[in-house]
Amino acid sequence: MTISAASSSAPQPLGSLVSGEYQPGVCNIGPAEIARRRRSGHIGLIAAVVLFAVLVAIGAPPLLRLLLVIPVAVSASGYLQAYLKFCAGFGAAGIYNFGEVGTTDKVADAAAKALDRAKSMRIGLASFAIGAVVAIIAVLLPI
């Protein structure tokens, strides 16, 4: 069985995506780091809900709801990184980690670093776009 990875033109074997091995532009974190990204997604989501509730409760002008872009983007980034098994920060820095949190290995290959940087950029842009869309919807809500 194969799965086509978005950043690769060749199909990737299913086992290679699950085995916990570094794959340039595809997978650069293991289970401990994935759990950490998921937690940041949860924290961003909670912060966004609390911020929205406070802004509505105090009767703040609807345009202030644009502030939601920050916690929603943090949440989206965390969830995307967990889902994709790819840390944007690690990709931009040229490192990866499949061990305990806090340990990293360097990516030596320049082509691999380029793939990782491109994936990191896509995650960052997608996270910001999600945050912006949610914030705009919050501004437009009639409450």
Task: List beta partners, residue 27.
Answer: 23
- CA-CA distance, 52 to 17, in Å (whole number)? 37
Q: Round the CA-based radius of gyration of the chain to a whole number and report it.
A: 18
Model pLDDT, residue 7: 42
- CA-CA distance, 132 to 25, in Å (whole number)? 25
Please tell me the pTM assigned to this model: 0.84
- Residue 37 clears pLDDT 50, i.e. is over it: yes
- CA-CA distance, 60 to 119, in Å (whole number)? 37
Task: Express each pLDDT in 42-101 by its tens digit.
Answer: 999 999 999 999 999 999 999 999 999 999 999 999 999 999 999 999 999 999 999 999
> In which band, very low, low, confident or very high, does the pLDDT at 117 lie, cut at 50, 70 and 90?
very high
Beta strand 11-13 with 95-96: parallel, antiparallel or unpaired? unpaired
Task: List beta partners, residue 23.
Answer: 27
